[in-house]
Structure 1
Amino acid sequence: MSNPFDDPDEGSSGMLLLRDDAEILEGFLCPICKADLKTPERLTAHVEQQHSEEQDLLKSLREMFSFAKKKILNLDETASELARNLDSSLGQGGGGVKVENPILAAGQVVGTDCDHLSYFKAVRNPRLERYATETNKLIIRLDKLLDGLPSDPDARKRHEQSKVPWIDGKLVKLCPSCAKGFGLTRRQHHCRVCGSVMCDGCSFHLSFDEARSIVQPVSPGTEVAPRPAPAPEEMSSKDRDSSGFRVCEHCLHLLMNRKEMQDSRSDRPPVTKLYEKLLQEKREITPDIPMYEKIIGSLYEGDAIYRLSDASALREKIGRAAERIDNISK
């Protein structure tokens, strides 16, 4: 049902609709004559001059433009005020009182520290002493085993039992390492160094050469050619027993740590040897470089003190040394 108060010229929807052929105008338009004045100033002047009788319209235009101008200027004033407040708080404002941040003004001191070195030494030194004492005991036993070691397997077994007391196998029902019971398929074996009981899978073999190198370490600078040893998988258990001592994992770990320590003191890495050789070459050639520069300068100045052959010979010597240094560095 249509609204009875609607204008009969308007649509039935109650809204003012434009005609399809109506032109849409944009810009700073005069509300009366629809002229586009391009700028707010020209629009205001046009209304004052051409439509001076429309005072209400002129007043509304002025209020509208002044309101928009205040909005724009208010944003600029807010930004300027924030900048002034920031400058004054930092003591940079003109004529303002300088305010310093107490946190930044105070001197920075080192924080609280706690020295744990004494506690570290108190824990570490007894452990090192215990490991060192145990390792020295194993090395003494290893030295006794190597002294007068017979080649016959039965005689060797009696020799090993006489030097190191073995634990009675009847008292051990399970392997200490894998906790598996002994039987026909899992026999008991004794560590030749500490005398403990273990199974074949948890035992290791220390060759006679490695044992001798641990007992009698090689002095620094002595070169010992390594002897080829057969692969462990190619040797049977009897062959391994005949070429070394059966030891437990704990004893092997201590002995290998001692051997690595001995090797680190006696052996030097190849890169260290090359570096020392490189330094030697540089020390030999360093005094010749200033002399070569002096000869070249004298020849350029026309002095007859040095000859061109002297510079050529010295240059050739420096060049050969540079080639050797380059080859070593590669």
Structure 2
Amino acid sequence: MATGLESHTGENASGIREGFICPICMEDFVTDDKLLLHFEEAHDTEEDKDVLQAFKDFLGKAKKILKSDNPFEILEKAHSKPSSQKKQEHIEWDPQDFGVIRSHWSDFRKFRSNRMDFYAAETNKLIIRLDKIVSCLPSEATKRREHEQSVVTWVNDEDVQLCPQCAKSFNILRRKHHCRVCGTVQCHQCSQFLLLSFARKLTNPSYVPALDDGKDKIPNPPKRLTHAAFNALKRTGSTTSLTSLIDTDTGEGHIRVCFYCKQLLERRELQMDSRSQNTVIAELYTELRKYMEKGMELMPVFLKMLESFSQGESTYNLKDAQDCRLKLLKIAEYVDGYSKKIQSLGIDDEKNPTTGTALSLQLKIRLSAVNFLKENLLGLPNLPTDEQLMTLQAERRQAIENRIAREKKAVFEKRETETRRHADGHRDFEAVSVDRGWGVETTNIRNVNESDDPMLQQMEIMQNYIQQARRANRYDDVVILEANLRDLQVEHERLRSQPS
């Protein structure tokens, strides 16, 4: 069964014929056998044979469908079979020498640079217009519209019948509004708004809203307009529309723009923010390096105090050493925590996981932090207890007394045999190491009166110096200052005990 238009036979251009019609001569043969016989006798060319074979396949499928109990299954197999048996197109590539590669990077870079230049030029035009609009924006609605039209030429309302964004026609309810930056027309639902603070930020990168003295704010901002109040407003166009001038939520002035212009301007703002702000990994690494430097600065001080205690010296205070050790342990916790955060950045992000060079960098930072902890902060030696320190100091005093006794005995034995030439002997001078020094702050010292005791004033100043030295981890200076303080206290007690 076949159908065909009668325009091929010239009888009726608008009718449709049905039956066993020859697709070439458009003649009806009533039965399929007569149609096949006619096709084999009258159409014996190569092209006609292809048509005949396709026609035979078509008739065979039709018979199977008519005889089958489930014709839909046969149709599904017929549709899926050509896709599975589709021949792959053979592409003959030109012979390629070993080591020669094909690269489309130059074409891609050229296309991308042209596209980026286009968007950059368009955005720069919008910012220049925005700067002209915002720089001397009048507060009155009528003057403001004249100023905006003097900067940007608006599209004629009569030339636009449909909204370019939603393709809806304009009417008395769906009014026409112009973008103040490009001048195009759109409806109120499709138009966007830019706050004046946002516009000034784009036109002046050094703009700070807090220092603007509130000139973008309205002195008495209107409350959110209700439906009844909005309908009560006089419909005289966008020249006096409050929503076109003021953001009802914040009370700040704004300007109307289209979606395309706002998208370009917001993209430029993101670029400005990305250049001025550090990434998360940079901020974490900065904190990590800060604590590592603190640990490197404090570790030699702790080891020096520990060596002094192990030798039984009383130069340092045990409580200061314990505080120093707690600071080092806290630094180790911070270094370990920040390095773990850097290592886990973006790993759990299913959409944009960290891979490649960024992941390798994070792992190397973690490995560097672990090596730092192993070499410096992990396994800090314990400090001696009070009893152990007293025992070490007693042993040191006993060793010093024994050494002094031996030296006195040796000097006494040699005194008779030594001559006077040893009295003026040469002295060995040790090399003097210059320290960069440390100064105390005098701003925190309270003002004293002339009537106060000078000795008490000196003692109070000395105590303040000792506190500053402890906070700066200058424990050597603490020892010297404490010795001076004890001397002052002894002298003060001596002066008090004397009769006046």
TM-score by length of 2: 0.38
Q: Does 1:313 align with 2:323?
A: no
Q: Distance in 1 between matches of 2:202 and 2:121?
A: 15
Q: CA deviation at 1:274?
A: 5.5
Match of 2:111 among 123, 142, 157: 123
Indicate how the Cα distance of structure 1 residues 197 and 281 shifts in structure 2: closer, same or farther if over 3 A, else same. Answer: same
- Any unmatched runs of 5+ in structure 2? 1-97, 231-237, 246-252, 339-500
Q: Distance in 2 between matches of 1:322 and 1:208?
A: 51
Indicate how the Cα distance of structure 1 residues 117 and 293 shifts in structure 2: closer, same or farther if over 3 A, else same. Answer: farther
Q: After TM superposition, what 4+ stretches of structure 1 lie above 6 angstroms from structure 2?
A: 225-230
Q: CA deviation at 1:312?
A: 5.3
1:259 aligns with: 269
Q: 8 Å contact 2:288–2:334 — kept in the other structure?
A: no
Q: Does 1:286 align with 2:296?
A: yes
- The within-5 A match list for 1:227-238 is 234=224, 238=241
Q: CA deviation at 1:309?
A: 2.7
1:241 aligns with: 244
Q: Does 1:151 align with 2:139?
A: yes
Q: Distance in 2 between matches of 1:229 and 1:270?
A: 34
CA deviation string 1:244-303 (max 9, x = no partner):
110001000000000111112223467754642442232122133245346535754xx4
Q: Distance in 1 between matches of 2:284 and 2:217?
A: 29
Match of 1:205 among 193, 209, 230: 193
Indicate how the Cα distance of structure 1 residues 255 and 267 shifts in structure 2: closer, same or farther if over 3 A, else same. Answer: same
Q: CA deviation at 1:177?
A: 0.8
SS of 1:182's partner is coil
1:174 aligns with: 162
Q: 8 Å contact 1:292–1:315 — kept in the other structure?
A: no
Q: CA deviation at 1:322?
A: 4.6
Larger CA deviation: 154-163 vs 234-243 = 234-243
Q: 8 Å contact 2:305–2:321 — kept in the other structure?
A: no
Match of 1:192 among 170, 173, 180: 180
1:98 aligns with: none
Q: CA deviation at 1:119?
A: 2.3
Q: CA deviation at 1:123?
A: 1.3
Q: CA deviation at 1:185?
A: 1.2
Q: 8 Å contact 2:298–2:328 — kept in the other structure?
A: no
Indicate how the Cα distance of structure 1 residues 223 and 138 shifts in structure 2: closer, same or farther if over 3 A, else same. Answer: closer
Q: 8 Å contact 2:176–2:185 — kept in the other structure?
A: yes
Letter in 1 for 2:170: F
TM-score by length of 1: 0.55
Indicate how the Cα distance of structure 1 residues 170 and 196 shifts in structure 2: closer, same or farther if over 3 A, else same. Answer: same
Which has the greater radius of gyration? 1
Q: Distance in 2 between matches of 1:192 and 1:218?
A: 24
Indicate how the Cα distance of structure 1 residues 170 and 113 shifts in structure 2: closer, same or farther if over 3 A, else same. Answer: same
SS of 1:174's partner is coil
Indicate how the Cα distance of structure 1 residues 174 and 325 shifts in structure 2: closer, same or farther if over 3 A, else same. Answer: farther
Q: 8 Å contact 2:302–2:324 — kept in the other structure?
A: no
Q: 8 Å contact 1:288–1:318 — kept in the other structure?
A: no
2:12 aligns with: none
What is the aligned residue count? 214
Larger CA deviation: 189-198 vs 275-284 = 275-284
Indicate how the Cα distance of structure 1 residues 164 and 223 shifts in structure 2: closer, same or farther if over 3 A, else same. Answer: closer
Q: CA deviation at 1:211?
A: 0.4
Indicate how the Cα distance of structure 1 residues 229 and 257 shifts in structure 2: closer, same or farther if over 3 A, else same. Answer: farther
SS of 2:270's partner is helix
Q: Distance in 2 between matches of 1:315 and 1:114?
A: 67
Indicate how the Cα distance of structure 1 residues 275 and 200 shifts in structure 2: closer, same or farther if over 3 A, else same. Answer: same
Q: CA deviation at 1:327?
A: 6.7
CA deviation string 1:33-87 (max 9, x = no partner):
xxxxxxxxxxxxxxxxxxxxxxxxxxxxxxxxxxxxxxxxxxxxxxxxxxxxxxx
Q: 8 Å contact 1:172–1:197 — kept in the other structure?
A: yes
1:80 aligns with: none
CA deviation string 1:86-122 (max 9, x = no partner):
xxxxxxxxxxxxxxxxxxxxxxxx9975433322211
